[in-house]
Amino acid sequence: MDQIVNVNEFQELAKRALPKMYYDFYSGGAEDQHTLKENVEAFRRITFRPRVLVDVSKIDMSTTILGYPISAPIMIAPTANHMLAHPEGETATAKAAAACNTIMIVSYMASCTVEEVASSCNAVRFLQVYVYKRRDVTAQLVKRAEKAGFKAIVLTVDVPKLGRREADIKNKMISPQLRNFEGLFSTEVRPSEGSGVEAFASRALDASLNWKDIEWLRSITKLPILIKGILTREDALKAVEAGVEGIVVSNHGARQLDYSPATITVLEEIVQAVGGRIPVLFDGGVRRGTDVFKALALGARAVLVGRPIVYGLAAKGEDGVKKVIEMLKNEFEITMALSGCPTVDDITRSHVKTENERLQSML
């Protein structure tokens, strides 16, 4: 791994390591993949306003999420089926997260059970959930996670139906049996045509899920609830009204509604709507430490990293995941120093200029 100099290079290693079906599953977006490209490209249109002659001899990247300390504002996003990337699956990812002193959000669609992940290492972790038509299945997994020591529930709200992922349709993507659901129902679909993941999702997901169901989720767990999949001021306000403990600004890694906005372009709107009442986390397109800084400058408490983690896992297992997190932390530390910010609390809105601000200044 010595020759790898940035996180993006892990993608090519993962492409070589994985069967085409699995690489396409991880890397692909919805339909024309416009939003997939924009999630990354939109960061490039934000520039810095660095401060000089600030004492940056000591840089402190640490922060807290729901009161839990982490070494830097970089968390692991929920992504499905880690065993398709590496035999050790989510347990390898969890060990890397623990070694880097950060929080992993374990996917509802994980290959390993919540108990396996919990027993693999001692760390703070959250569970991401979908609500299935069979509410008892969701309730059971939430209760198992709570018993296993998970610290929060992250409810994904942007999947009443699965987005149209054309690579998975072409590849006839297999939906594997997931161990969390063994004895409850089958998740395995081997399609003769189309995507098995889509076939399973249409059978399982509850498209009637609405704001009233936050109360149902609250009734089955004592854990704090965060909502993942918010892209508008209107929904951010509803989330605050619903009494959730946090928001994740996310377009599902551009895998749901194509031509939805790049998440970094709507982050500030949501942060302003929330007004500091609950933490806002950010998900989508983070590939550099500079991206982490930009998201924090626009009001995020921390960022979630998805695909690069999976690419690191596919390429080099647990060590690959650690390397991805360490690279992002190193780049973030340099960005803080060169911007004149000794701590994350020193990162302010005045440290960045967005494309809109540049355009207005030219008028």
In terms of Cβ atoms closer than 10 Å to its own Cβ (0-12, 13-18, 19+), residue 57 is: exposed
- Dmax (CA) for the chain in angstroms is 64
Tell me if 302 sits within 8 A of 281, measured CB to CB: yes
- Per DSSP, 83 falls in state G
Query: Residue 2's pLDDT is what?
Result: 61
Provide φ and ψ at 126, rounded to 5°: -110, 160
Catalytic residues: 252
Q: Is 124 annotated as a binding residue?
A: no
Judged against a pLDDT cut of 80, whether residue 173 lies above it is answered with: yes
Q: Is 80 annotated as a binding residue?
A: yes
In tens, the pLDDT along 142-171 reads: 999 999 999 999 999 999 999 999 998 999
Look-up: residue for tokens 């992250």? 154
For the segment 344-355, the average pLDDT, to the nearest whole number, is: 96
Tell me if 320 sits within 8 A of 298, measured CB to CB: no
CA 225, distance to chain mean position in Å, is 15
Judged against a pLDDT cut of 90, whether residue 105 lies above it is answered with: yes
User: Which residue stretches of 72-134 are H helix?
Assistant: 89-99, 114-120
- Point out the least confidently predicted range of 8-17, 59-68, 179-188, 314-323: 179-188
In terms of Cβ atoms closer than 10 Å to its own Cβ (0-12, 13-18, 19+), residue 275 is: exposed
The residue type at 37? K
In tens, the pLDDT along 42-81 reads: 999 999 999 999 999 999 999 999 999 999 999 999 999 9
Strand-pairing partners, residue 126, are: 105
Query: Residue 240's pLDDT is what?
Result: 98
Look-up: residue for tokens 């377009």? 251
Give, to the nearest 10 degrees, the angle between helix 307-339 and helix 289-297: 70
Containing 331, the helix (H) or strand (E) segment is helix 307-339
Q: What is the pTM of this model?
A: 0.96
Provide φ and ψ at 205, rounded to 5°: -70, 145
> Rounded CA gap, 40 and 5, in Å?
18
239-257 burial, b if ≥16 CB within 10 A, otherwise e? bbebebebbbbbbbbbbbb
- Band the pLDDT of 313: cuts 50, 70, 90: very high
> Rounded CA gap, 108 and 207, in Å?
17
In tens, the pLDDT along 267-298 reads: 999 999 999 999 999 999 999 999 999 999 99
The residue type at 103? I
The dihedral sign for the CA sequence 315, 316, 321, 325: negative
For the segment 203-220, the average pLDDT, to the nearest whole number, is: 93
Tell me if 141 sits within 8 A of 180, measured CB to CB: yes
Q: Is 284 annotated as a binding residue?
A: yes
Q: Is 307 annotated as a binding residue?
A: yes
Query: Residue 301's pLDDT is what?
Result: 98
R_g of the chain computed on alpha carbons:
20
Query: Residue 184's pLDDT is what?
Result: 81
Q: How far is CA 299 from CA 68, 276, 292, in A?
A: 19, 9, 11
Beta strand ranges found along the chain (DSSP E): 47-48, 63-65, 68-70, 74-76, 104-106, 125-129, 153-156, 225-230, 246-249, 280-283, 302-305, 352-353
Query: Residue 363's pLDDT is what?
Result: 67
Query: Residue 300's pLDDT is what?
Result: 98
Q: Is 29 annotated as a binding residue?
A: no
Q: Is 170 annotated as a binding residue?
A: no
Q: Is 107 annotated as a binding residue?
A: yes
Tell me if 126 sits within 8 A of 103, measured CB to CB: yes
